[in-house]
Amino acid sequence: NRVAVIGLGYIGLPTAAILATNGIEVIGVDVNQRTVDAVNAGQVPFVEPDLGVHVAGAVSHGHLTASISTPRADAYIVAVPTPFKTDRSADLSYIEAAAEGIAPQLIGGELLILESTSPPGATEHMAQYILDLRPDLSLDGADSKPAILVAHCPERVLPGRVMIELVINDRIVGGITPDAAEKAKNLYSVFCKGEILTTDAVTAEMAKLVENSYRDVNIAFANELSVISDKLGIDVWELIRLANHHPRVNILQPGPGVGGHCIAVAPWFIVSAAPEEARLIRTAREVNDAKPEWVFQQVLSALELLPPAAEVSVLGLAFKANIDDLRESPAIEIAAHLAEALPSTRFNVAEPHVAELPAQLLGRSNVKLVPIDESVSRSDVIVVLVDHDDVKAIEIEQLEGKVVIDTRGALRREPVLNTLDA
């Protein structure tokens, strides 16, 4: 059995690696030659705990290879990006490009799985797209045309815990036909020890979107509370800690906004599918998207009360704690906005997980990447944007006489009941 995984990113590569370490012959396909070369050399082009060991092992045993072109295989797993377009509908062009690579290889009987987070109907669209290219095939054997089996199996893994969660999380597998769902379930059971639940493709698509929207709505609630608390002059962290003592209340943590490429994207796919009906989901997105601007204004207000030479410490750039992933990070949005609006203010940015400033900040003469302690000691205003462990380790004495804007509650010393990654 040979499996081709199309797209060797944050989801595709771990999936390829875990199939391969379970003895399956896997060919990873990516449009980026550098990624292909890295994988063939047993290396991982991004940071994810334990992934390196899996890739190196699978490559050295000959179970995993990478290629720029799509090979013939018994099963295809498509894990390519599905960004949204300016009108916030989903951009399916990467899925279509993957389908164009797969179509000529098919002879009938293959399993095709879409893993990318997708708007309702995308799996059906992919299937139809392939049938348009290959009218000699079918989805159900109709007119005695050989059938291909198409399913959607959304991923649920949390960045930073991918190799564990791939194995232990339950999974949803939605088939265009029940047969496709069954076959996909068999493939995932090679490495997935959680329950594998089968349904139809569009329900599986919605399940994934709903999971991320659920989190988005709950984070929006916490973010709204932080803005209300600020107005009322109360400590939101204490407020949430106390409220969470109720047995049926579990409020999440406010922050500078919602980052990453999933939670802030998936809800828009629901809104775009049902614009009139998805009112709460849309508002939650708007609340979370407005948070960086609110933090920006808070820093401006703090600086107004200080001498012009005041320096600002920006702690953290990643989209969440203890990772090096800067994609769609509200911290970067805030830092870049500040640096641009205040060209004569010096920003001492500390991000222990990167060696260089990201493009949005690179080359600005008023922004320097410095170690955490230096950033804190030389600054007058401390803006906490990410609750990295290294940030939480700052001693209270280091903050004496400084204005602290702590968007994550990272410098509080009382424990807060729920944790970010729970």
Per the DSSP assignment, residues forming a β-bridge with 66 are 28
Displacement of CA 242 from its chain's centroid (Å): 30
Per CB under 6 A, the segment of 27-35, 91-99, 131-139, 258-266 that binds ligand SAJ is: 258-266
Per CB under 6 A, the segment of 80-88, 97-105, 210-218, 392-400 that binds ligand SAJ is: 210-218
Total interface residues for ligand SAJ by CB under 6 A: 21
Closest to 227 in 3D by CA, of 298, 163, 299, 286: 298
Looking at beta carbons only, is 237 or 347 nearer to ligand SAJ? 237
Contacting residue, 182, 211, 238, 406, with ligand SAJ by CB under 6 A? 211
Active site residue 262: yes
What CA dihedral angle connects 228, 420, 325 and 17, to 10 degrees?
-150
User: Long-range contacts: 134-140, Cβ < 8 Å, 24+?
Assistant: 134/103, 134/104, 134/106, 137/106, 137/108, 139/176, 139/177, 139/180, 140/177
d(CA 331, CA 259): 8
Q: Is 260 in the site for ligand SAJ (CB under 6 A)?
A: yes
Looking at beta carbons only, is 98 or 225 nearer to ligand SAJ? 225
Q: How far is the CB of 9 from ligand SAJ (least distance, A)?
A: 11
Backbone angles phi, psi at 72, to 5 degrees: -75, 135
Site for ligand SAJ in 213-252 (CB under 6 A): 215, 219, 252
Q: How far, in Å, are 5, 86, 363, 390 from residue 78 at the CA level?
A: 6, 24, 37, 37
Active site residue 392: no
Q: How far is the CB of 52 from ligand SAJ (least distance, A)?
A: 20
Looking at beta carbons only, is 242 or 420 nearer to ligand SAJ? 420
Site for ligand SAJ in 96-155 (CB under 6 A): 117, 155
Rg over CA atoms, the chain: 24
Q: Which two tokens stand for residue 196?
A: 């594998």
Q: How far is the CB of 421 from ligand SAJ (least distance, A)?
A: 6
Cα end-to-end distance, the chain, whole Å: 37
Options 153, 185, 262, 320, the catalytic residue:
262
- List, in order, residues 6 or more apart from 146 with CB less than 8 Å away: 107, 108, 109, 136, 137, 138
Q: How far is the CB of 200 from ligand SAJ (least distance, A)?
A: 20
Contacting residue, 158, 239, 342, 404, with ligand SAJ by CB under 6 A? 158
Q: Is 48 in the site for ligand SAJ (CB under 6 A)?
A: no
Contacting residue, 55, 262, 334, 350, with ligand SAJ by CB under 6 A? 262
Looking at beta carbons only, is 11 or 381 nearer to ligand SAJ? 11
Alpha helix positions (H), 45-135: 51-60, 93-102, 122-133
Looking at beta carbons only, is 10 or 76 nearer to ligand SAJ? 10
Q: Is 188 in the site for ligand SAJ (CB under 6 A)?
A: no
Site for ligand SAJ in 266-325 (CB under 6 A): 319-320
Q: How far is the CB of 58 from ligand SAJ (least distance, A)?
A: 22
Options 208, 291, 368, 392, the catalytic residue:
208
Looking at beta carbons only, is 201 or 219 nearer to ligand SAJ? 219
Q: Which two tokens stand for residue 392?
A: 């939480």
d(CA 361, CA 180): 47
d(CA 185, CA 196): 6
Burial 72-83 (b: 16+ CB within 10 A, else e): ebebbbbbbbbe
Q: Which residues are catalytic?
A: 208, 262
Question: Which residues lie near ligand SAJ (CB under 6 A)?
Answer: 117, 155-159, 211-212, 215, 219, 252-253, 255, 258-260, 262-263, 319-320, 420
